[in-house]
Structure 1
Amino acid sequence: MIEEVTTLDTDGGTTTVSLRGEIDVLTVEQVRVALGEAVTGRPRQIVVDMAGVAFIDSTGLGALISGFQRARDQAIPFSLSHPSDNVRQILVLSGLLEVVHVTP
């Protein structure tokens, strides 16, 4: 059984998608679904809280990129928050941080 890795919370027009654990081929579908639901809700902005993410692989990066693109297409600001140093390094190496805003 796969542990739930995402939660959605909407407050004041901001939808926060909280991720935790390892985002990989076994859990990425949960991330895709949560990001899709966030975009469908048409909030003023989407924040992906990555404070609880220990590891992210290429499938996880692909899900974040897809979520970002869907939000961008709907003119919804999309940002990442609180990635660990290890996860931030993966985000930098992937080039994702060149297009997606990250808060410390």
Structure 2
Amino acid sequence: MIEQVTSLDADGGTTTVSLRGEIDVLTVEQVRVALSEAVAGRPQQIVVDMADVAFIDSTGLGALISGFQRARDQAIAFQLARPTSNVRQILVLSGLMEVVQVTP
């Protein structure tokens, strides 16, 4: 099961969505909701912290792409932060790293 924390930083410019566990067909709706709430807050930047994500499937990738597109449409910077090596490999294979900023 995935746990999420969505927090707006003290500067008011960055919303961080922290994801933990596995992002798959059973948990993807929680990710979609968290990203929608982050975009609705209209920050300058959304950072999706993936340091504690063990696995992501195609539905999870779809949720990240959808969140990225909604943020881009609102002129909100969007980045994925600290993906594990397993998740990073999936991001590379999917081509997502070519369109979304990923920080180590």
TM-score, length basis structure 2: 0.96
The offset of 1:6, in angstroms, is 1.4
Question: Which runs of structure 2 are paired with 1:1-104 in the superposition (5 Å)?
Answer: 3-11=1-9, 12=11, 13-104=13-104
- In 2, the alpha carbon distance for the partners of 1:73 and 1:99 equals 14
Is the CA contact 2:39–2:71 (under 8 Å) kept in the aligned structure 1? yes
Structure 2: gaps (5+ residues): none
- Unmatched 5+ residue regions in structure 1? none
Residues 50 and 82 in structure 1, CA contact (< 8 A), matched pair in contact too: yes
**1:77 offset after TM fit, Å?**
0.2
Q: CA deviation at 1:32?
A: 0.1
Rounded to whole Å, the distance in 1 between the matches of 2:14 and 2:97 is 21
The whole-number CA distance in structure 2 between the counterparts of 1:44 and 1:93 is 29
Q: How many residue pairs get matched? A: 102
Contact kept? 2:39, 2:70, Cα under 8 Å:
yes
Mapped to 1, the partners of 2:2 and 2:83 lie a distance apart of 18
CA 1:84–1:4: 2 relative to 1, 3 Å: closer
Question: Identity of counterpart residues, as a percentage?
Answer: 79
| Distance (whole Å) between structure 2 residues aligned to residue 88 and residue 4 of structure 1 | 18
Report the TM-score, using the length of structure 1 for normalisation. Answer: 0.96
Deviation at 1:5, TM superposition (A): 2.3
**CA drift at 1:78:** 0.0
How far residue 23 of structure 1 moved from its aligned partner, in angstroms, is 0.2
Q: Which runs of 4+ in 1 moved over 3 A?
A: none
